[in-house]
Amino acid sequence: MKFKIYRYNPDTDNAPYMQDFDLDLQAGDAMLLDALMLLKQQDDSLGFRKSCREGVCGSDAMNINGRNGLACITALSSLKQPIEIRPLPGLPIIRDLIVDMTQFFKQYHSIKPYLVNNDPPPETERLQSPQDREELDGLYECILCGCCTTACPSFWWNPDKFVGPAGLLQAYRFIADTRDQDTAARLDNLEDPYRLFRCHTIMNCVDVCPKELNPTEAIGKIKDMMVKRTV
């Protein structure tokens, strides 16, 4: 199998370059991450993140043949060769396929990704009806891998001001939660020409999400709620 992998070590390289790799491997059921691990045996300077290797931790998000995805759940047999692997676009490179996610998490933290409830905690837990709980399906599953946000041109252009699809999906996750008491402040926080409304609904986020979530729909629901409270 043939690979072309983005290499850049800011300590030794003047500029990033693409390195060719050859791997003697039958695709079979193997995932891209398996191949990367074998390639690391060939060249142990190759840098990438990984942890759970089953699409739960979100560490090994990368740009695979031009599309963001998780290496650990991308089947080698589904990829055209040479398999071109680059880091997630739009974020600073630390080394090779490892990107600096600071800006991504800054935006995530800006939407207060936690339940705000000032009532004294009940003895057992804060209950929800099954219907209210259902509203959180498709929202809570996000693993914050960053595939969607780094596929979004609005985020590439305004990473300091536009929250990005992952952050906005989580914003709606807490707006939709009936146990949360901060809805008005959460909507205020997003009612700005940059933070939410830089989304122009091109749906790259939906296209790449490895968990098949739909940030665009969540963004639409936030807009609906803003309209509802205004008119």
Partner 1 sequence: MVNRTVTGAHYGLRDWLAQRVTAAVMAIYVLVVVGYLLMQPSFGYDTWLELFTSNVMRTFTMLFLLSLFYHAWIGVRDIVMDYVKPAGIRLLIHVLVILALLVYVIWSVQILWGM
Residue 114 or 194 with smaller CB distance to partner 1: 194
Token pair, residue 98, equals: 């490892």
CB of 89 to partner 1, least distance (A): 18
Residue 67 or 112 with smaller CB distance to partner 1: 112
CB of 174 to partner 1, least distance (A): 18
Among 128, 133, 197, 220, binds partner 1 (CB under 8 A): 197
Pairwise CA distance, residues 139 & 218, whole Å: 8
- Per CB under 8 A, which region of 17-25, 78-86, 186-194, 205-213 contacts partner 1? 186-194
- Do 86 and 63 meet the contact criterion of CB atoms below 8 Å apart? yes
Count of residues interacting with partner 1 (CB under 8 A): 18
Q: Does residue 71 interact with partner 1 by CB under 8 A?
A: no
- Do 171 and 111 meet the contact criterion of CB atoms below 8 Å apart? yes
Q: What is the DSSP letter of 139?
A: T
Q: How far is CA 118 from CA 1, 11, 35, 46, 190, in A?
A: 57, 49, 49, 48, 22
Token pair, residue 51, equals: 């942890």
Residue 160 or 212 with smaller CB distance to partner 1: 160
Residue 53 or 221 with smaller CB distance to partner 1: 221
Task: List b or e across 20-54, with b for residues whose CB sees 16 or more CB atoms inside 10 angstroms.
Answer: ebebeeebeeebbbbbbeebeeeeeebbbbbeebe
Residue 54 or 192 with smaller CB distance to partner 1: 192
Q: Does residue 196 interact with partner 1 by CB under 8 A?
A: yes
Q: Does residue 230 interact with partner 1 by CB under 8 A?
A: yes
Q: How far is CA 5 from CA 2, 39, 144, in A?
A: 10, 10, 24
Q: Does residue 114 interact with partner 1 by CB under 8 A?
A: no
Among 190, 205, 208, 218, binds partner 1 (CB under 8 A): 190
Task: Kindly write out the interface string for residues 138-167 of this chain, putting x where it contacts partner 1 by CB under 8 A and - elsewhere.
Answer: -------------------xx-xx------
- Do 83 and 32 meet the contact criterion of CB atoms below 8 Å apart? yes
- Per CB under 8 A, which region of 85-93, 127-135, 176-184, 221-229 contacts partner 1? 221-229
Pairwise CA distance, residues 210 & 63, whole Å: 12
The 10 Å Cβ neighbour count of residue 102 is 11
Among 78, 185, 194, 207, binds partner 1 (CB under 8 A): 194
Query: Which residues of the shown chain bind partner 1 in the complex (CB under 8 A)?
Result: 157-158, 160-161, 188-197, 223, 226-227, 230
